[in-house]
Amino acid sequence: MYIDITELQGFRNYTGTKAEFSREINVITGRNAQGKTNLLEAIYVLCTGKSFRARSDGELLSFSEDEARLYAHGESGERERRVEIILRRGRRREMTVNGVRQKTAQAFAGSFAAVLFCPEDLELIRGGAAGRRRFMDNCISQLRPRYAAALYEFNKAYEGKTRILRDMEEKPSLAPLLEEYDQQLARMSAELIHYRALFIESLAPECARIHAEFSCGEKLEFSYSTIKTIDDPTRPASELLPRILEHQAAHKQAETASRVCLTGAHKDDIEISINGARARSFASQGQTRTAALSMKLAELEIHKRALGEYPLLLLDDVLSELDATRQDFILNRIGGGQVFITCCEDEKIAARTGGRVLTVENGSIGN
Ligand SMILES: Nc1ncnc2c1ncn2[C@@H]1O[C@H](COP(=O)(O)OP(=O)(O)OP(=O)(O)O)[C@@H](O)[C@H]1O
Ligand SMILES: [Mg+2]
């Protein structure tokens, strides 16, 4: 899949600009604070319907504008695709694919897919479990629309149950609702856990292979951790459900006492180790970066295997802290699909990739 053209109006610091991309490597260069990351963000929004850094649509609008338009034209699944998003301050956004209105970001996403790697992704190795769950959720949602729907339902049930647990003592009339939320939370957890476990099962060997190549033989291992009563999380959701209900029943009193939801897919994690040591505690800076990048490159391969095409690869500021050998490793590995890579002007990346150079200056893009 490829995006050939994009147009941005009123998006962050882009007041009105059009860019044409290479179907291979695009090097986005420019001084600090000119709009390089904003351009990657726009591409990411056009692929997935959501931003990787804004908490609301309002943040995406230029400070002085009340409306923004993002548009991309390209090809995926051997079909021409035109995707457009209109954002309006204080109003619902409008999204279309080939001229047809899409009601939700979920329905909109899917024409294009993207894998992003940015400096914050080091948190995948170093940070808390929430970031790793987000990684799984983002990857699997792009592979399976059914997962995205289950995740949406799961979040609704989780929020509902959390609210009831919190307020039940003051409002005992809420208690009967709890049973319904328990059931829904367990059902949706079973779906999420099953797909996450399968995803990690296919990601782990791919990731280990890339990491070993990148680090001259280090052993990277993944294990998916979930509700204790589940022995094999890859089993079908219908078989996981009784195990989850069992855990839920055993923790009912503790939940009421602590007012916290103790059973569900919201506590899952990926345990990552390098040469047998827990990465979160023991990985060095270089190992952290290599492992995080290996996860993203593995995601790219899994996506290709599942859907037959490479998603777009968006690399924000990944090269700046790597030595030349590691930079070369990345630059040699990223062929295959369309790539967008940002770097500061002084890096001689463009020449080394042979890619098209786009220079960003104060919200305009020059070739
Ligand atoms: N909603 C917005 N409206 C207008 N300008 C914005 C908005 N959001 C961010 N900006 C501005 O856009 C500019 C460019 O941001 P961006 O993150 O794309 O920079 P960059 O080129 O990636 O820089 P760096 O090399 O430092 O990472 C910043 O000066 C920022 O203040
Ligand atoms: Mg940036």
pLDDT, one tens digit per residue, over 126-145 is 999 999 999 999 999 989 98
Ligand 1 within 6 A of CB of 32: yes
Instruction: Please check whether the two domains, 1-113+311-367 and 124-308, share a CATH topology.
Output: no
pLDDT for res 326: 76
> In this structure, which residue's CA is closest to atom 12 in ligand 1?
13
User: Using one digit for the tens of pLDDT, what is the confidence trace for 24-36?
Assistant: 999 999 999 999 9
Amino acid at 194: H
For ligand 1, whether the C-beta of 355 sits within 6 Å is no
How many CB atoms are located within 10 Å of the residue 32 CB? Answer: 7
Q: Is the CB of residue 29 below 6 angstroms from any atom belonging to ligand 1?
A: no
Q: Which of 37, 116, 120, 321 to mutate to test the pocket of ligand 1 (most atoms within 8 A of CB)?
A: 37
Are 152 and 146 in contact by the 8 Å Cβ rule? The answer is no
215 pocket-lining for ligand 1 (C-beta < 6 Å): no
Looking at the CA of residue 38, tell me the nearest atom of ligand 1.
18
Render pLDDT for 242-264 as a digit per residue (tens, 0 to 9).
Answer: 999 999 999 999 999 999 999 99
**Can you give the residue ranges of every domain in the chain?**
1-113+311-367, 124-308
Distances (CA, A) of 68 to 65, 193, 251: 7, 37, 48
Q: Averaged over 23-49, what is the pLDDT?
A: 95
Enter the DSSP assignment of 12: T
Residue 347 reports pLDDT greater than 70: no
The CA distance from 95 to 97, in Å, is 7
Residue range 1-113+311-367 in CATH 3.40.50.300: yes
338 torsion bin: left (phi>0), alpha (psi -120 to 50), beta (else): beta
> Which has more confidence, 330 or 223?
223
Residue with tokens 């904003």: 38
In angstroms, what is the span from residue 33 Cα to ligand 2's centroid? Answer: 7
Residue 214 pLDDT > 90, yes or no?
no
What does the pLDDT look like over 180-212, one tens digit per residue?
A: 999 999 999 999 999 999 999 999 999 999 999
More confident residue, 149 or 320: 149
Q: Is the pLDDT of residue 345 over 90?
A: no
* Of 9, 38, 349, best ligand 1 pocket probe by most atoms within 8 Å of the beta carbon: 38
Mean of all residue pLDDT scores within the chain: 93
When the candidates are 1.20.1260.10, 3.40.50.10420, 1.20.1050.90, 3.30.572.10, the CATH number that belongs to 124-308 is: 1.20.1050.90
pLDDT tens digits for range 152-165: 999 999 999 999 99
Averaged pLDDT, 60-85? 97
Q: Is 63 in the pocket of ligand 1 (CB under 6 A)?
A: yes
For ligand 1, whether the C-beta of 62 sits within 6 Å is yes
How many percent of the chain have pLDDT more than 70? 99
Q: How confident is the model at residue 55 (pLDDT cuts 50, 70, 90)?
A: very high
Residue owning the nearest CA to atom 9 of ligand 1: 12
